[in-house]
Structure 1
């Protein structure tokens, strides 16, 4: 078959090119301590959308930096005992989507929380010195300052904060919570499971935000990764700071978070993916030490994967 990346046998052993900062774990431990010290000021507002078997709310909480973060929250109207839960994450620049698409999991007895990433296409704020949305440019947002200012640091923390809020809801079984998403959402599901170790199951589909230097060296800094080229062209055209830049990006590289994951994991990969190259996805997968499995689609890229949504539904809803 044609190749857009390494042969499959090499992908299974690939460990990534991007560096891991020496203080990586300490950085994230400090960041989590900052998050946990916040008063999230959780607010639940009944949604205009309702369903016969689901209670639907707009959930708001205060994240790091003071931004008010929004998520859709859906809960079964009737449930015997504690409920399992799922936290969901969306693709880059998008939003958490319509209510209707989350009802199958609610019908299966799950509480569902779907995050709007700050400053993208949903209702979450980005209070990084501006009013309103920023939409994209988030990989390089904060790259010229201390790593604590990286916008994806804040978004990664939002995922863990939302999971913790859901785990603390009355009626939710904190020992039966899953994280799921595709593309940016797949990366955020990985970040969530890494930063909230109580996540039990993780379903990630062609995850973004991994192995930035590999993306650069493959000349794939386009589409979702176009910001890397934008940054170098505008702010470091001679690449005098290249090593520094890739080291700083290492703080928000999911392959570096992957060893922290304790959840049982399923990752879906299309070997023809030119948006998030397969090697960058394998760089993260190969570092996960928890029980894991791959769904490999040899002829598919960054697109709908036949049967994958059904397989993920069965994985997430399988009895714990």
Structure 2
């Protein structure tokens, strides 16, 4: 097999290259306190799509910065008996919440399913926080020239935690049986959700994005989804005088640091030929997790469809 990254025996021990800000814990504690003070103002409307065994609705809630955030909610049409499990779906970069049809297998298994639209991407959520600086080639750098609280992904990560709180508070949901699921950006958001809402019991993360930015840079893979990093340095710090400070600031929104906070069980699908989210960055997040965990290693696959992964994730979540 051609080598893209470190040998596997090194990957399984690798820890992140991205510096962790000294006030990292305080930063996220303050973010969660901001959620505590929010009036989420949750509202629902019926979706055009309906099937006999599911109730499909659109939900809006108010997140940080006053943004109205959208999610798709599908619940079993019959909600008799004890409260059941729930699954939080997070989508890939530039996309939107999964289709109703993608959510229905879990509904048929008795889950309430919520699919988040990330702010300012392919769905219906607002991106309401204004920031200094540019956003060309990606959201990673949005807010990088402003206060850390204005970093785009800081607020998206908090949206995942707020969504979890809203779903866990529903009468028909057992708050002790909630999972988070996603791939690429969604894989990062699933990890962030499990970190910031520690009641999440199971996390499935597939080749997570937003992990170990410095390693991406060192591998010269700051392109495609990470192109914003290269463009930022070329335009605003061409001599790299602020390189250390920039990567430390990005450390606030790095899931290789957030993953240390996860309390639930984790299943991760890792791709060893991935030149979008390099294997070492995936292992940086995985190796930071201290709770029960397991991985599916795909030696010959990159950032693509993974045969059998959806089925493995389904079986994993059925254990909730």
**Which TM-score band applies after superposition, normalised by the shorter structure?**
over 0.9
Cα 1:54/1:32, change in 2 over 3 Å: same
User: Equivalences for 1:204-283 in 2 at 5 Å?
Assistant: 204-283=205-284
Name 2:74's counterpart in structure 1. Answer: 74
Once the two structures are TM-superposed, the CA of residue 137 in structure 1 deviates from its matched residue by 1.9
Task: Point out 4+ residue stretches in structure 1 off by more than 3 angstroms.
Answer: none
d(CA) in 2 for partners of 1:135 and 1:52?
Answer: 44
Name 1:305's counterpart in structure 2. Answer: 306
Contact 2:195 2:258 in 1 (8 A): yes
Contact 2:89 2:98 in 1 (8 A): no
Once the two structures are TM-superposed, the CA of residue 129 in structure 1 deviates from its matched residue by 3.4
Name 2:168's counterpart in structure 1. Answer: 167
Name 1:108's counterpart in structure 2. Answer: 109
Name 1:96's counterpart in structure 2. Answer: 97
Once the two structures are TM-superposed, the CA of residue 238 in structure 1 deviates from its matched residue by 1.1
d(CA) in 2 for partners of 1:92 and 1:210?
Answer: 14
User: Equivalences for 1:27-66 in 2 at 5 Å?
Assistant: 27-66=27-66
Contact 1:93 1:136 in 2 (8 A): no
d(CA) in 2 for partners of 1:99 and 1:247?
Answer: 39
3-state SS of the aligned residue for 2:288? coil
Contact 1:270 1:300 in 2 (8 A): yes
d(CA) in 1 for partners of 2:56 and 2:98?
Answer: 14
C-alpha offsets along residues 34-63 of structure 1, whole Å, 9 cap, x if unaligned? 111100000011111111100011000000
Unaligned segments of structure 2, at least 5 residues: none
Contact 1:88 1:181 in 2 (8 A): yes
3-state SS of the aligned residue for 1:286? helix
Once the two structures are TM-superposed, the CA of residue 144 in structure 1 deviates from its matched residue by 0.5
Name 1:16's counterpart in structure 2. Answer: 16
d(CA) in 2 for partners of 1:142 and 1:173?
Answer: 36
Contact 1:70 1:124 in 2 (8 A): yes
Unaligned segments of structure 1, at least 5 residues: none
3-state SS of the aligned residue for 1:73? strand
Once the two structures are TM-superposed, the CA of residue 136 in structure 1 deviates from its matched residue by 6.0
Once the two structures are TM-superposed, the CA of residue 70 in structure 1 deviates from its matched residue by 0.1
Contact 1:119 1:135 in 2 (8 A): no
Name 1:296's counterpart in structure 2. Answer: 297
C-alpha offsets along residues 254-292 of structure 1, whole Å, 9 cap, x if unaligned? 011011001100000110000000000101100100100
d(CA) in 1 for partners of 2:77 and 2:214?
Answer: 47
Once the two structures are TM-superposed, the CA of residue 97 in structure 1 deviates from its matched residue by 2.9
Contact 1:121 1:135 in 2 (8 A): no
Contact 1:96 1:116 in 2 (8 A): yes
User: Equivalences for 1:158-197 in 2 at 5 Å?
Assistant: 158-197=159-198
d(CA) in 2 for partners of 1:8 and 1:230?
Answer: 31
Once the two structures are TM-superposed, the CA of residue 101 in structure 1 deviates from its matched residue by 1.1
d(CA) in 1 for partners of 2:64 and 2:95?
Answer: 21
In the alignment, does 2:127 pair up with 1:126?
A: yes
d(CA) in 2 for partners of 1:121 and 1:177?
Answer: 25
d(CA) in 2 for partners of 1:135 and 1:311?
Answer: 37
Once the two structures are TM-superposed, the CA of residue 106 in structure 1 deviates from its matched residue by 0.1
d(CA) in 1 for partners of 2:202 and 2:34?
Answer: 25
Contact 1:82 1:171 in 2 (8 A): yes
d(CA) in 1 for partners of 2:168 and 2:7?
Answer: 41
Contact 2:138 2:225 in 1 (8 A): no
Cα 1:294/1:241, change in 2 over 3 Å: same
